[in-house]
Structure 1
């Protein structure tokens, strides 16, 4: 049982015990609550004692049930603290992550499960923040880096290395939490890319206004995909096939100052010949340049949309970023 459930059980035992003692021994409810607490604490002041046969039997049962409830509560609380400390010492649960340019996933549900799978496939460093202990143990058993804590807490975000992270995904689906997390994370790392999952279409603009870089609504995205599947079935079949066919996919690569391809044309970069990739578009300063000419010169800050096989593009990404 969870600690909260056990705490409720203890309070319930005290309350029902007080009601029973009040009915049997004819004392006020306040005096009866006082009697139950004194009895279970074993202090035994002797102010109130059962005088009837029924009261004595009731008291004996109350002591057994009450102490059993308190024992279960203490055993659970102490056991969890000790277990967590042992696992932390043994390195089974992450206290702090020593990562850089990594991705932080806040909340572990169905969407996050797929996200984890994709990041593992692309060999990207990441850490999950999750406050549910059972999910934390599940992830730990799978060998996935996980921080046990509340993603809305600055301390937890610090433990996840938000100041060194490249991106953060909020998969809560609760827009109040999404807004708070976006503002907090952006305040701690202004360069952090924040992607949010929202279940309410009317909140998408609000999430963009508070700093989210991308807001994804499963309902909206699903509706658009459904429309494309109805109107352009061949295009949808192509998208589905190339994303699954022999590791072929579409990649976004940001060009940094240290890139060896700065001031070189796409032809001179050798992206097609050396990495077997095709640059299908370039995003520069908010402008999208589709199907760039082979003589198009690559500049710092450009985002290249490259279509090709994963192994070649991954090698390209390592050299160009």
Structure 2
């Protein structure tokens, strides 16, 4: 059962229980002449099987109502209490409610990243997103993985990534990217097709260790396919032959302290040369400028940056924070 179905069933039970309490309160009030509070009190004691006996129905109609509540109500009340207690024990009610009621709000979920799957890869992805202040919605297929994600500090939507409703609940329409980290490449491929069918604009990034699948992922609509074995293998080799280079790459990837790299969009009102930006206090190294489909690596002082260019800056984290504010003020 998907999380959306679980929430729907829970709401039905709660509404049925509230309706039963309202019916019992009104019925006892009319049949027994009790005040509203005593009628509510009697209804609750009947449904909860407490039955203190301090207030009892005295009329035939009151006893009929009592018997009906006992036969119909105890089952509903017991089922509702056990369901709520079970979900609360798993911390699922809070996750479900937040996932489908609060996170579902348009103002709450926008420009977020949807991560599919929970494993070591997705944990590192989520950790890095958190460090950079990026909102993440995690999709897992079962409650056990949901609890694992919860223990790691992340809220998860439990549902199949092959179902349209799961991605609608994760607000695929306003997401900036979807990252697929499942170990099964076939499932990832079907998920790419599902996501691309729901959104033509969202960026899809897939983790895949099978080079034979790369072309299939791109045909299905993936924007980027990452072979972790390939990347990690190159870094491991660098630690043997060029350890300092490997340390720089590792430092750049962590983005916590020391070196960092940042992608920014140049939004100034006019063009500026790299030299002009330096004279205004730019501290980081402009590693690459992308204009349209063309990439300009390490542009010189005379290179003119145009509004709309995408810049990749590298340098110390504090320097890049300064440069980002500088560029925003142009």
Q: TM-score normalised by the shorter chain: which range applies?
A: 0.5 to 0.7
Q: Is the 8 A contact 2:137 2:155 kept in 1?
A: yes
SS in structure 2 opposite 1:94?
Answer: helix
* Corresponding residue number in structure 2 for 1:225: 235
Change (3 A) 1:148 1:271: farther
Q: Is the 8 A contact 1:251 1:307 kept in 2?
A: yes
Of 225, 240, 261, the match for 1:215: 225
Between the aligned partners of 1:230 and 1:86, the Cα distance in structure 2 is 46
Matched, 1:83 2:90: no
Of 75, 78, 100, the match for 1:95: 100
Change (3 A) 1:128 1:149: same
Between the aligned partners of 1:107 and 1:271, the Cα distance in structure 2 is 47
Between the aligned partners of 2:114 and 2:293, the Cα distance in structure 1 is 26
SS in structure 2 opposite 1:238?
Answer: helix
Between the aligned partners of 2:96 and 2:224, the Cα distance in structure 1 is 34
Between the aligned partners of 2:287 and 2:268, the Cα distance in structure 1 is 20
Change (3 A) 1:232 1:156: same
* Corresponding residue number in structure 2 for 1:253: 264
* Corresponding residue number in structure 1 for 2:137: 127
* Corresponding residue number in structure 2 for 1:295: 302
Of 256, 266, 270, the match for 2:274: 266
Change (3 A) 1:249 1:86: closer
SS in structure 1 opposite 2:125?
Answer: helix
| Unaligned 5+ runs, structure 1 | 1-73
Q: Is the 8 A contact 2:140 2:158 kept in 1?
A: yes
* Corresponding residue number in structure 2 for 1:51: none
TM-score (norm. length: structure 2) = 0.62
Q: Is the 8 A contact 1:93 1:147 kept in 2?
A: no
Change (3 A) 1:279 1:92: same
Any idea what the Cα deviations from partners look like across 1:261-282, whole Å, max 9, x if unmatched? 65333344569725x3221111
Shift of 1:296: 2.5
| Unaligned 5+ runs, structure 2 | 1-77
Matched, 1:174 2:178: no
* Corresponding residue number in structure 2 for 1:70: none
Any idea what the Cα deviations from partners look like across 1:229-266, whole Å, max 9, x if unmatched? 445444224323555683421222244xxx23653333
Instruction: Write the mapping of 1:190-209 to structure 2, written as runs, cut at 5 A.
Output: 190-209=200-219
Between the aligned partners of 2:292 and 2:251, the Cα distance in structure 1 is 31
